[in-house]
Structure 1
Amino acid sequence: MKHLISALCLLAASALSLSAQQTQKPVLHGRNWMAITGKPLAATAGAMIFQQGGNAIDASCAMLAATCTMWDTLSWGGETQVLIYNPKTKKVIAINAMGVAPTGATVSFFKNKGYNFPPEYGPLAATTPGTPGGLIYMLVNYGTMSLEQVLKPAMEMAAGYPIEAQAANTIERGKNQIKQWPYSKKVLLTHPGEKREAPEAGEIFVQKDLLATLEKMVEAERKALKQGKNRKQALMAAYDRFYTGDIAKEFVRGCQEQGGLITLEDLAKWKPIEEEPLTVNYKGIDVYKLQQWTQGPSMLQALNILENFDLKAMGYNSPKYIHTVYQAMNLAFADRDFYYGDPYSGTKGPIKGLLSKDYAKQRAGLIGYEKNDADIGPGDPYPFEGRKNPYLDLLKKRGYSMDTTKRNFAPKHDLGMINTSPAELYQERLWLGTTSIEAADKEGWVVSVTPSGGWLPACIAGNTGIGMSQRMQSFVLDSALNPFNVLAPGKRPRVTLSPSLALKDGKPYIASAVQGGDTQDQNLLQFFLNMAEFGMNVQQASEAPNFNTNQLWLSLGGTKTEDRRPKPGQILLNSNTTEASREQLKKMGYILSFGDRTSGPINAVYFDWKHGSLWGGSSNHGEDYGIGW
């Protein structure tokens, strides 16, 4: 009894210390609105729109436009994924603005070029642009402002803004690739022939071609309004000019000139989709993610699995907790790697079975406490939705047991990029790629966005100033890897991009998103548990040390199968992990690597219904920033 009391006292003290922990950045407090995104200037763009009377959708569109213009780390030719809470209907809706594979993008086309996966960079990596269409769709259906109003900050930036060191240095690192593409070279290398050819930090970076493209869209809107068209029709005039007008023609010309496959018909046929999000309930909290064309359901699966364990009793980031969450993530990712894909193209995956509580209980039963399971593979969710699995033979052919003799923490394709260690390269992957946008307002609108694509070094399409997406690399060319995500024209790749929304008692609880490829739902899962299980506030939870698994098939980078293979037992831990925990994890078969910051960077909004206020959190990991009022 004495030992039990001591243990309970220790647990209570631990919980108290978590709720009282100091953060490097302050919590953001607001009564009227909250705007958070990947760069300070872009957060300012959102704040400007709020101050002019816009709602959370208007502000999100302004932040999206600003981050694209800043290459943080995406461009206008990329893709946008959105979750919105509509206070009028009290429902969460999802917007799918992911581009599709173009005409001619077939398995045989890439295999004949010697690829096991589509390329990582360049015109052949490009899906059709989704962000402009997604932004306009948001404005048409849920915003209040004109395109001209929400694009004004981005247009001012395109006319010239002081570029920050992160983007400037990324351009310099990638300049050899940029020089392959004449339009990218013209825009991005502002000092050709000099030792440093990229802009310097603080230099006024001008993008005349992009400014002209944005002006054309606004001009189309203005012209329609002068002709007596209504707001929606005017916005759609701007949409049409991008996807079927002179912008489309120049985009396609510039893409094809450099060897790309996108056609005018591809642009004209593409449309954003509003869809029902997927949801599970975790201990009374409804968590929402996009459908299985993203990796978002993997977080829902992991929550279902973890609901079978008393995580709080294990203690925050104790070896037992780390091991249990790591195993749950691996089980969910094994299913992601085989069963997720575009539900609008061909056979729809067994998502009902995958999100079944009974299936999760079966998967949870596979978790043992002695060691890491290096042989975790996909399960069979079909019986849990009353169907027979048609892919059992493929699962056997796939041979998902992993080669444990190769332990490079970073995938091979990263090893030559910059002169640094594999662990540091992994950290680089967390810092770069994608951004996130969180916004909320006093009317009750909530927006969570994870836009991406067209990151540096990007191939710019002709004289549009628009960097093309590189998302085609997330397709597979072999059905044995994933029969639902095999490349085909008109199909969306299964992406890593994964905003989150959670409701409690039918009201918004947390909106969150993070950059970082395959780590996104790992970090968002732990952020959610930090708040729901361990009582952290939104800033504490966003800064708190996370851990990441690389025991999954990589979704990005490398054109050979060996580049993408899982690394069983490899785990990224925070540098402050105790020696005792390190030793225990090693004994369980883990291969340890460390980072000083392992939180994301996560951006989030918490809804304080007791006091009628908004709390904003923005991780101390990168340059993400928020403003509230």
Structure 2
Amino acid sequence: MLTTRPELTGDFGMVASTHWLASATGMSVLERGGNAADAAVAAGFVLQVVEPHLNGPGGEVPVLLWSPDDARVSVICGQGVAPAAAEGRRLADLGLDLVPGTGLLPAVVPGAFGAWLLLLERWGTWRLADVLAPAIHYARAGHPLLGRAAAALGTVADMFRAHWPTSAATWLPGGAVPKAGARFTNPVLADTYQRLVDASQQAGGSREKGIAAARDAWYRGFVTEAIGAYCRSTEVMDTSGRAHRGLLDADDLARWEATVEEPVTFDYRGHTVCKTGPWGQGPVFLQQLALLDGFDLAEMGPGSVDWVHTVVESAKLALADREAWYGDPRFTDVPLGALLERGYNDERRRLITSAASLDLRPGSPGGRKPVLPPYPGPSGGGAPGGGGTGEPTVAASGETRGDTCHLDVADSSGMVISATPSGGWFQASPTVPGLGFCLSTRGQMFWVPEGLPNSLRPGARPRTTLTPSLALRDGRPWLAFGTPGGDFQDQWTLHFFLNVVHGGMNLQEAIDAPEFHTTHMPSSFYPRDAHPGAVLVEERMDAEVRAGLRARGHLVETVDAWALGHVTAVASEDGWLRAGASPRGAQGYAVGR
């Protein structure tokens, strides 16, 4: 199969990410003696600078890693929580039935910094100054602004000028929208990073002591003070059409810390797939595998009508369960074991027929009755918010949607890492004065009504869409992979995985294969639109397959040939390290030797 790029093969190290500068940064760390954790942290901070429309320092990141010292997979939860003042009743009193998608009301504790530092502290070898140096350089000296970032700024420039002056000052140099390819700098952010480095170095002593000092400077020092003061004193316009103050305060940040958890796993055809808990949508991937385990996908063949139909219908069922059951398990009883049981999935599998379903059909694991949120109502077939490809848009209603980044790293010692940074997009939240970055609006994924698994409540994690993946073979790390894409992440990555496992494709072939997804389920993002029966397919998909899907009742929309998914992956097998990255978006690359 002809691919856009070769699958990389070597035995020293591999880094794949959604931006070439982050990939190059990670590889430079490996070349200079750092391990995969050091490389991932350095690359993660660079992504905050060079993909500001997709993530930022005020965002979040879940991380999956295999450490040869631990000989197991660990999950680092860098998903911040709702403020202590965040209650559904409070928003209802403001006349809101949905958490706004922009502004300060949906802000949660920024968890990415804590997660990256935990990864560096526990599994890395470098000091904070060393891993932050590339990000400081690109923030101060500049980087070529991505075309997608420039386009996103163009959609929000008028709103910045009228309502978010701190954002205009940061992102509209000279008052104008910067052009694609322009050298873009963020000196205020560079100063913020440098102050954190200074705090680390002034602590003296061990590497770990310096990391702890920087963490304190963020969560109990100058960063937290600036965030608390801004949220407390400033009303900003959001998607409700009104201005609101934020609920986040300094105490919320001071109480929070990143944690390490066990992964949720599922064994499929000789592979153990590891995901986050149900505070993320990761188990959706596992539920799809549990359903698909009863079909002969190899006989169907990748990309056939039967293959696409079966995979789409399985996704609909798994995502319906996400809507009914997923939430922060510290606050709600998620029947995860029952959702992955063979008997439950045998029963659910019988719902898949030769015709496309147009209904949202959650199951009843353990006999429990599903309860769905009060959705605004279906929007009809088609793609939500400018194509449904996960890229940032501003819809006709005025709401903005950001997207996500991804990176994977493997080193010669056997350490493998998969991380999906997101949140803190410049188009969704105003820039905090004196810091040079925005807050995450992940709180929009909560529901205002009480009594739901994902209801807004103090200290809870929103059910994020961020979902890195790590798969084992024979108890050893085999494959780390992921993608941006919001609700579609656990569809695109599943297709990639199935292409490898059943299609016999190498990493790049599996990434390059024509992509598709359904927008059947309600969106996790404001305004929660749904498009029952809709399936988006790249125009490279065979016309007979598209016609066959329409004949089965799918509402098929053809999009550009390279529009869906930005999967990156690294693998360790047969004594070699391998890597691949999607050409879609023209910015993701894998590097290695």
TM > 0.5 between the two? Answer: yes
Residue 200 of structure 1, aligned match among 171, 179, 193: 179
Asked if residue 615 in structure 1 is aligned to residue 575 in structure 2, the reply is no
Deviation at 1:52, TM superposition (A): 1.5
Asked if residue 244 in structure 1 is aligned to residue 223 in structure 2, the reply is no
Could you tell me how far apart the structure 2 residues matched to 1:103 and 1:518 are? 27
Judge conservation of contact 1:377–1:400 (CA < 8 Å) in 2: no
Judge conservation of contact 2:276–2:282 (CA < 8 Å) in 1: yes
Residue 42 of structure 1, aligned match among 16, 19, 22: 22
Could you tell me how far apart the structure 2 residues matched to 1:171 and 1:239 are? 31
Could you tell me how far apart the structure 2 residues matched to 1:114 and 1:313 are? 54
Whichever residue aligns with residue 24 of structure 1, its letter is T
Asked if residue 216 in structure 1 is aligned to residue 198 in structure 2, the reply is no
Could you tell me how far apart the structure 1 residues matched to 2:391 and 2:327 are? 27
Could you tell me how far apart the structure 2 residues matched to 1:471 and 1:465 are? 19
Asked if residue 455 in structure 1 is aligned to residue 425 in structure 2, the reply is yes
Asked if residue 354 in structure 1 is aligned to residue 325 in structure 2, the reply is no
Residue 289 of structure 1, aligned match among 261, 266, 275: 275
For residue 465 of structure 1, what is the aligned residue in structure 2? 436
For residue 3 of structure 1, what is the aligned residue in structure 2? none
For residue 409 of structure 1, what is the aligned residue in structure 2? 382
Residue 602 of structure 1, aligned match among 567, 580, 590: 567
Q: Percent identity?
A: 35
Matched positions, count: 570
Change (3 A) 1:45 1:72: farther
Deviation at 1:509, TM superposition (A): 1.5
Asked if residue 84 in structure 1 is aligned to residue 84 in structure 2, the reply is no
For residue 73 of structure 1, what is the aligned residue in structure 2? 54
Which whole-Å deviations, capped at 9, do the CAs of 1:41-87 have from their partners, x for residues lacking one?
A: 11121122112211001000011100112215111000010000111
Deviation at 1:547, TM superposition (A): 1.3
**SS of residue paired to 2:76:** strand
Could you tell me how far apart the structure 1 residues matched to 2:303 and 2:16 are? 27
For residue 550 of structure 2, what is the aligned residue in structure 1? 586
Judge conservation of contact 2:487–2:523 (CA < 8 Å) in 1: yes
Asked if residue 442 in structure 1 is aligned to residue 412 in structure 2, the reply is yes
Deviation at 1:304, TM superposition (A): 0.6
Could you tell me how far apart the structure 2 residues matched to 1:379 and 1:400 are? 18
For residue 12 of structure 1, what is the aligned residue in structure 2? none
Judge conservation of contact 2:426–2:437 (CA < 8 Å) in 1: no
Judge conservation of contact 1:286–1:502 (CA < 8 Å) in 2: yes
TM-score between the two structures when normalised by the length of structure 2: 0.93
For residue 183 of structure 1, what is the aligned residue in structure 2? 166
Deviation at 1:375, TM superposition (A): 2.2
Asked if residue 232 in structure 1 is aligned to residue 208 in structure 2, the reply is yes
Could you tell me how far apart the structure 2 residues matched to 1:131 and 1:57 are? 15
Deviation at 1:479, TM superposition (A): 4.7
Judge conservation of contact 2:389–2:563 (CA < 8 Å) in 1: no
Deviation at 1:130, TM superposition (A): 0.4
Judge conservation of contact 2:383–2:534 (CA < 8 Å) in 1: no
Change (3 A) 1:400 1:157: closer
> What are the equivalent positions in structure 2 for 1:104-503 lying under 5 Å apart?
104-162=85-143, 163-179=145-161, 180-192=163-175, 197-225=176-204, 229-258=205-234, 259-344=245-330, 346-369=331-354, 371-383=355-367, 389=368, 391=369, 394=371, 406-411=379-384, 414=385, 422-423=386-387, 426=389, 428=391, 433-457=403-427, 458-479=429-450, 483-503=452-472
Could you tell me how far apart the structure 2 residues matched to 1:503 and 1:625 are? 24
Whichever residue aligns with residue 534 of structure 1, its letter is G
Whichever residue aligns with residue 455 of structure 2, its letter is V
**SS of residue paired to 2:273:** strand
Judge conservation of contact 1:432–1:515 (CA < 8 Å) in 2: no
Judge conservation of contact 2:53–2:392 (CA < 8 Å) in 1: no
**SS of residue paired to 2:105:** helix
Asked if residue 54 in structure 1 is aligned to residue 34 in structure 2, the reply is yes
Judge conservation of contact 1:251–1:463 (CA < 8 Å) in 2: no
**Which has the higher mean CA deviation after the structures are superposed, 279-288 or 164-173?**
164-173
Could you tell me how far apart the structure 2 residues matched to 1:400 and 1:256 are? 31
Could you tell me how far apart the structure 1 residues matched to 2:291 and 2:146 are? 42
Asked if residue 557 in structure 1 is aligned to residue 526 in structure 2, the reply is yes
Judge conservation of contact 2:114–2:258 (CA < 8 Å) in 1: yes
Whichever residue aligns with residue 472 of structure 1, its letter is G
**SS of residue paired to 2:260:** strand
Whichever residue aligns with residue 357 of structure 1, its letter is R
**Which has the higher mean CA deviation after the structures are superposed, 503-512 or 434-443?**
503-512
Deviation at 1:583, TM superposition (A): 2.4
Could you tell me how far apart the structure 2 residues matched to 1:177 and 1:543 are? 37
Deviation at 1:399, TM superposition (A): 8.5
- Structure 1 gaps of 5+ residues are 1-20, 384-388, 415-421, 559-563
TM-score between the two structures when normalised by the length of structure 1: 0.87
Change (3 A) 1:126 1:571: same
For residue 478 of structure 2, what is the aligned residue in structure 1? 509
Deviation at 1:255, TM superposition (A): 2.9
Could you tell me how far apart the structure 2 residues matched to 1:104 and 1:189 are? 33
Deviation at 1:488, TM superposition (A): 0.9
Judge conservation of contact 2:402–2:423 (CA < 8 Å) in 1: no
Could you tell me how far apart the structure 2 residues matched to 1:263 and 1:278 are? 32
Which whole-Å deviations, capped at 9, do the CAs of 1:463-506 have from their partners, x for residues lacking one?
A: 111211010111112357xx110001211100100000000111
Deviation at 1:407, TM superposition (A): 2.4
**Which has the higher mean CA deviation after the structures are superposed, 287-296 or 69-78?**
69-78
Q: Which one has a larger percent helix, Structure 1 or Structure 2?
A: 1
Could you tell me how far apart the structure 1 residues matched to 2:261 and 2:149 are? 34
Judge conservation of contact 1:81–1:451 (CA < 8 Å) in 2: yes
Change (3 A) 1:29 1:178: farther
Judge conservation of contact 2:272–2:472 (CA < 8 Å) in 1: yes
Which whole-Å deviations, capped at 9, do the CAs of 1:424-445 have from their partners, x for residues lacking one?
A: x646459961100100100000
**SS of residue paired to 2:75:** strand
Change (3 A) 1:432 1:246: closer
**SS of residue paired to 1:174:** helix
Deviation at 1:408, TM superposition (A): 4.4
Whichever residue aligns with residue 293 of structure 1, its letter is W
Could you tell me how far apart the structure 1 residues matched to 2:267 and 2:99 are? 37
Could you tell me how far apart the structure 2 residues matched to 1:402 and 1:235 are? 47
Could you tell me how far apart the structure 2 residues matched to 1:402 and 1:204 are? 44
Whichever residue aligns with residue 47 of structure 1, its letter is M
Deviation at 1:186, TM superposition (A): 1.1
* Structure 1 moving runs of 4+ over 4 Å: 398-403, 429-432
Q: Who wins on radius of gyration, i.e. which is larger?
A: 1
Could you tell me how far apart the structure 1 residues matched to 2:375 and 2:426 are? 33
Change (3 A) 1:267 1:428: closer
Change (3 A) 1:587 1:445: same
Deviation at 1:581, TM superposition (A): 2.1
**SS of residue paired to 2:357:** coil
Whichever residue aligns with residue 44 of structure 1, its letter is A
Deviation at 1:30, TM superposition (A): 2.6
**Which has the higher mean CA deviation after the structures are superposed, 329-338 or 202-211?**
202-211
**SS of residue paired to 1:159:** helix
